[in-house]
Amino acid sequence: MVFSKYKEFVEDGDLVVAWIGRNKLLPLKIEDGQTFHNQYGAFPHSEMIGKRYGQQISSSAKQGFIYLLQPTPELWTLALPHRTQIVYTPDISIIFEKLRIVHGTRVIEAGTGSASMSHALSRTVGPSGKLYSYEYHASRYETALQEFRDHNMLDEVNGNTRLTHRDVCKDGFEIAESSLEVDAIFLDLPAPWEAIPHLIKHVNRNGSTRICCFSPCMEQIQRSATALQASGWCDIEMLEVSYKQWAARKTRVIRVDDSIERLKEVKRHRTEGFERRKERQRLEKELAESAENGEETTDSPISVPSEPPSKAPATTERNHKRIREGDEDYEWTDVARIDSNLKNHTSYLLFAVHLPSQLDNESESTE
Ligand SMILES: C[S@@+](CC[C@H](N)C(=O)[O-])C[C@H]1O[C@@H](n2cnc3c(N)ncnc32)[C@H](O)[C@@H]1O
């Protein structure tokens, strides 16, 4: 898989993740002769080739810069083209821990969607594991197929991923040429409870199989839990991941005296504004009355003053300009703040385990 190899220098043909800003990452295919443009200028690919991964790349006019990073599933999740809602890394990590996804694990995943989860699964299960991914939406399937091909993930060319175009709720998970038995299952579907009964044919005969259903609504969780119970799954539990990232920032120190001074100033401005408005209304009324009485107003008009320019503000703050964090004209102190920009799609995570002994019970009860 292309995302599990590391190299030092950017080469022609590499897929890179371009870091554009704190919350903006983009996938970029390096092609000699092409140029990447953004608001900070032009970045010819020819100038990227040969640079060290992670090195800062300046625009031709030196007005901005980007970084080129080697794609990992975690970076891909932040940079990928969205075709659907996706699963983010905070959820993926707890799912991997609960499903015990390691090198060699065989996993079913449905649906593929934007393949955020697929990339993480394919990288972690490695060459000795296997990912069976299912998608019923034709164009999403085609796009994911091309993406998996480009990222060297497909099992037909030494990868570990098999992508199948199938409605798993209707037609189950069978694949043509081999029997399918897995250790872990991840369902990110609108109606997982319709797919659950089909899974029993594919659980591990010699060990446990773990499942996670990822659903945004409690009603979906309830229906899936009922379906899991009916199919012999046990240890059913639900989690929700709540992720907060803390950032080191500066906050302005505002003294009581400064605040009082500022409040007084606001009050003074308000009173002055009110007086000016009253005066303008009075003059407008006078003008209207003179016009009604047919009085001549051209030579000595009663001029209605427009808003006078406000007194030159003493500070940028009074000018309503943005004060830059750390501006030396102000006093600052260091604080920790929660970063509110983090993308994490909150869903409920329903987990359950299937044990081989359950299969004996099931076959006994059907005899
Ligand atoms: C929310 S997206 C999955 C996102 C994916 N986990 C990711 O991280 O990018 C759900 C996907 O399931 C597909 N889907 C819905 N019902 C399906 C079904 N019965 N069989 C196969 N795929 C299905 C949808 O077309 C959609 O692409």
Report whether residue 137 contacts ligand 1, using a CB cutoff of 6 Å. Answer: yes
Please tell me if the CB atom of residue 187 comes closer than 6 angstroms to any atom of ligand 1: no
The whole domain housing 38 covers 2-71
- Model confidence at 302, in pLDDT bands (50, 70, 90)? low
Q: Do residues 62 and 98 both lie within one domain? A: no
From the CA of 196, how far away is ligand 1's center (Å)?
15
pLDDT in tens, 171-195: 999 987 678 999 999 999 999 999 9
CATH number, residue 18: 3.10.330.20
130 within a domain of the structure (yes/no): yes
Q: Is residue 17 part of a domain?
A: yes
Q: Is residue 271 part of a domain?
A: no
**Mind listing the pLDDT tens digit for each residue in 228-287?**
999 999 999 999 998 888 889 999 898 898 889 889 999 999 999 999 999 999 998 888
Residues 64-84 have pLDDT tens digits of: 999 999 999 999 999 999 999
Q: Ligand 1: distance of its center to the CA of 135 in Å?
A: 6
pLDDT, tens only, 211-245 = 999 999 999 999 999 999 999 999 999 999 988 88
CB of 108 sitting under 6 A from ligand 1: no
Q: What is the C-alpha to C-alpha distance for residues 111 and 186, in angstroms, rounded to an integer?
A: 9
Which of 151, 188, 214, when mutated, tests ligand 1's pocket best, judged by the most ligand atoms within 8 Å of its CB?
188
- Flag whether 48 is in a domain: yes
